[in-house]
Structure 1
Amino acid sequence: MKIGYFLSSEEFTPAELLEQARGAERAGFEALWISDHYHPWVDAQGQSPFVWSTIGALSQVCRLPVTTAVTCPTVRIHPAVIAQAAATSAVLHSGRFVLGVGSGEALNEHIFGDPWPQTDVRLEMLEEAVEVIRALWAGDFVNHHGRHYTVEHARIYTRPDTPPPIYVSGFGPKSIELAGRIGDGYISTMPDADMVRRFRDSGGARPCQAGFKAAYADSEDEGARIAYERWPNAGVPGELSQVLPSPRHFEQAAQLVKPEMMKESFVCGRDADAHLEMIDKYAKAGFDEIYVANVGPHWQGLFDLYQREVLPRLR
C-alpha cells in the first residue's frame, strides 16, 4: 500500500504547494495528488492556481510521482490541449505522472457560458475525450470528428517514451463502470469496498487510488473548527457538488452543514491512531494508494506526525 500527500490547489498558493511537496517527500510520503480547479469551493479557501504550471514546477522540486485528482478534459479545456499538457508533464517528471480524469463540476467548467450537460452526456463526453487523448499520444497526426470533439491534423511532438496511465474517477454506478471500461486505474474519495469491486468487475485488477482530508491541530475540536472554516462544502450532500456553479452557491448550501459534522469525514487533531484508523478503512475497502490532504495552516505538523508515528507503523 502506497501513502501519498494531496496538494489542494483550492487552498494554497503555488509557492505553498511546492513547499508542501518538498515537505511531503522529506517526511516519507511516496506520491502526490494535485487538484485541478478554476475556482475554490468556497472563498475561505481562497486560491486556485493553474494546475499545469504547478505540475511543471513540481518536477523541479521533488521526485515524487504526481497524479491529477482530477482533471476534467471535456468543457473548460479541449481534450487535445489536455493531451499535450499531460504529455509534457510526463516528460518533465520522467514518466512519474498519471493523468487522473473525471466528468467535472459546474463550479469549474461553466466559465465560458457552455451549458452544463446531464450526467449521461458528461460521461459520454469523458469517454470520447479519453479516446482523443490516447490517439494523440500515439504520435501520429490525428483527425477526429466525433459527437462532441473535432481534431484536425494535430500531432503531439513532445511525448514520453510510454504514454501516461489514465485513471478515471467515479462515484455512481455508471461512472464507475465507465472507469472500469476505459481507465488504467480508478480514483475515489470514499472508503467503499462496493465501489472498488464494481470497478474491478468492470475491467480487472488495476490500481485504485483514494484520498481523504485531515485538519492537523492541537486538539480534535480545534481541527474540526479549521475544517469547518475552510471546507464546509465537504458536508454538502448528493449531486450538489457537480451542479452548483460558484463558491457563493457552495457557501449558501454549506449553511446546512454543522461544525460537528466535520469530524465524520475529516481526521481532526493530532492523534496518530485516528489517522491510522482512517487509512485502514481505505485499505480494507481495497485501495492500493491512499492520499491525505491537510486543511489549514499546520501542514508541517501533519508531516512531522506521519514521519514520526504514522508511516513507520504502516511499514
Structure 2
Amino acid sequence: MAEYGYFLACEEHGPAALVEQARMAEQAGFTSLWISDHFHPWHDAQGQSPFVWSVIGALSQVTSLPVETAVTCPTMRLHPAVTAQAAATAAVQTNGRFRLGVGSGEALNEHVLGDRWPQAAVRLEMLEEAVQVMRSLFTGEEVSHHGKYYTVENARLYTVPEEPVPIDVSGFGPAATELAGRIGDGFVTMSPDADAVERFRRGGGATKPAMGGLKVCWAQEREAAVATAHRLWANEQLPGELPQVLPTPRHFEQANELITRERVAQNVPCGPDAEAYVQAITAYVEAGFDAVYLSQIGPDQRGFFDFYRSEVLPRLPG
C-alpha cells in the first residue's frame, strides 16, 4: 500500500514556515515528512536555508508524523560522527519516528569549508564509509575507526533511540542506486524511474522501501503556477551531473537561464487540475515506489493543502 508524505523545502522557507507546513500536512492527511538539508538554497530567488537539525527539533514538538532528511550529506560539511549524533537525537525527540536519508551531496553545499570536491566514484566511497561509521555509533557503544576517509577515536553516543536509526540512501544513477541496494535500509530518488527501483531491488533492496519525491505547483491559474515553478525551481530541470558540481547559487542562476517555461510546464504538475496531480503521483506507484513525497512550490501552502485534502489525496491509489 502506497503512502503519501509532504516534502518540506528548507531552500524556500524559514523555520517558522516549515513548522506550520508540517502542522498543515498532518491536518490534510499526509502521513510522513521529508525535509531537505542544505547550506545554500539552489539560487537566491528561493531565499532560505535554515539548519535542518534545529528545524527537526521544532517539528518533533508540533507533529506526530515521521520525519526524514531528504537528504543529508554526511561526508564533508558534516563529519559522519557529528551527523550520527544529530540523527540519534532527532530519533529520540521523535520517539523513534526519524529516518536518516543520506546522499553523496552537491558542491553547492559541501565545498563551503574549502574542501576539494571529489569525483562521483570517490564521493560514493566516502558515503559508504560514513554509513559504516554512523551505524557503529548508533549502537551506543564506544567506537574507534581508522578508515580511508574518516578517523573516529573513543566516540560514544549516550543519547540514542531504542532501535538504530534507519539509513536510506539516495540514488540518481546506476552506481548510487546499486549502493543504496547494498547498504541502505531504503532508497530515495526524485523521478518515477521503474528501472531504478528494479536495480535497487536486485542490488539488495528486496522488500526495503523505495521512496520518491515530486515538486508540484498548485494555483488557481495554471500559467501563474508555471511562472512560479519556473522562477523558483527551474534548477530541477538541469540535466546530468550539473546539480552536483555547480558550486554557488550564482552558477545555478546562470544555468537556469537555459531552462524555458515550456520545459517546466511539461515536467512539473501545475495549476488547478486535480487529474494532473493524480496521474503524476500514480506514475510513482506504478513504477514500484512504496511512498511518494509532494512539495508545493511557492507561498500558497494553505491553498495547496486544502486542495490536496479534498481533491487529490482521496483519489490516489491505496
TM-score by length of 1: 0.99
- For residues 161 and 283 of structure 1, what CA distance do their matches in structure 2 show? 32
- For residues 115 and 264 of structure 1, what CA distance do their matches in structure 2 show? 36
> What does residue 233 of structure 2 align with?
231
SS in 2 for 1:159: coil
> What does residue 113 of structure 1 align with?
114
Q: How does 1:269-280 map to 2 (within 5 A)?
A: 269-280=271-282
* Residue in structure 1 matching 2:243, options 241, 244, 248: 241
Q: Work out the percentage of aligned pairs sharing the same amino acid.
A: 60
Letter in structure 1 aligned against 2:180: A
Measure how far apart 1:313 and its partner are. Answer: 1.8
Measure how far apart 1:85 and its partner are. Answer: 0.2
- For residues 273 and 106 of structure 2, what CA distance do their matches in structure 1 show? 33
The C-alpha deviation readout for 1:81-133, integer Å capped at 9, x for no partner, is 00000000000000111000000000000001100000110000000000000
The C-alpha deviation readout for 1:64-83, integer Å capped at 9, x for no partner, is 00110000000000000000
Measure how far apart 1:170 and its partner are. Answer: 0.5
The answer to whether residue 270 in structure 2 is matched with residue 268 in structure 1 is: yes
Letter in structure 1 aligned against 2:176: S
> What does residue 310 of structure 1 align with?
312
> What does residue 64 of structure 1 align with?
65
Measure how far apart 1:267 and its partner are. Answer: 1.1
- For residues 214 and 280 of structure 2, what CA distance do their matches in structure 1 show? 8
> What does residue 158 of structure 1 align with?
159
Letter in structure 1 aligned against 2:266: E
- For residues 172 and 233 of structure 2, what CA distance do their matches in structure 1 show? 20
> What does residue 31 of structure 2 align with?
30
The answer to whether residue 124 in structure 2 is matched with residue 123 in structure 1 is: yes
> What does residue 41 of structure 1 align with?
42
* Contact persistence 1:65–1:97 (CA under 8 A): yes
For structure 1, list consecutive stretches of 5 or more residues without a partner in the other structure.
none
- For residues 293 and 313 of structure 1, what CA distance do their matches in structure 2 show? 18
Measure how far apart 1:264 and its partner are. Answer: 2.4
- For residues 142 and 295 of structure 1, what CA distance do their matches in structure 2 show? 42
Letter in structure 1 aligned against 2:311: E
Measure how far apart 1:301 and its partner are. Answer: 1.1
* Contact persistence 1:267–1:275 (CA under 8 A): yes
> What does residue 190 of structure 1 align with?
191
Letter in structure 1 aligned against 2:107: A
The C-alpha deviation readout for 1:120-159, integer Å capped at 9, x for no partner, is 1000000000000000011111000000000000000000
SS in 1 for 2:154: strand
* Residue in structure 1 matching 2:286, options 284, 287, 290: 284
* Contact persistence 1:41–1:250 (CA under 8 A): yes
- For residues 238 and 298 of structure 1, what CA distance do their matches in structure 2 show? 30
- For residues 272 and 105 of structure 2, what CA distance do their matches in structure 1 show? 32
* Residue in structure 1 matching 2:301, options 284, 296, 299: 299
Measure how far apart 1:302 and its partner are. Answer: 1.1
- For residues 202 and 263 of structure 2, what CA distance do their matches in structure 1 show? 33
> What does residue 215 of structure 1 align with?
217
Measure how far apart 1:265 and its partner are. Answer: 2.3
* Contact persistence 1:196–1:286 (CA under 8 A): yes
* Contact persistence 1:40–1:47 (CA under 8 A): yes
* Contact persistence 1:213–1:265 (CA under 8 A): no
Letter in structure 2 aligned against 1:75: M
> What does residue 21 of structure 2 align with?
20
- For residues 267 and 3 of structure 2, what CA distance do their matches in structure 1 show? 21
- For residues 173 and 4 of structure 2, what CA distance do their matches in structure 1 show? 25
Letter in structure 1 aligned against 2:271: G
The C-alpha deviation readout for 1:256-309, integer Å capped at 9, x for no partner, is 110111122211012111110001110011000000000101111110111111
The C-alpha deviation readout for 1:216-260, integer Å capped at 9, x for no partner, is 111221110000111121121110000000000000011111011
The C-alpha deviation readout for 1:156-193, integer Å capped at 9, x for no partner, is 00000001110000011111110000000000001010
* Contact persistence 1:213–1:292 (CA under 8 A): yes
- For residues 291 and 281 of structure 2, what CA distance do their matches in structure 1 show? 10
> What does residue 100 of structure 2 align with?
99
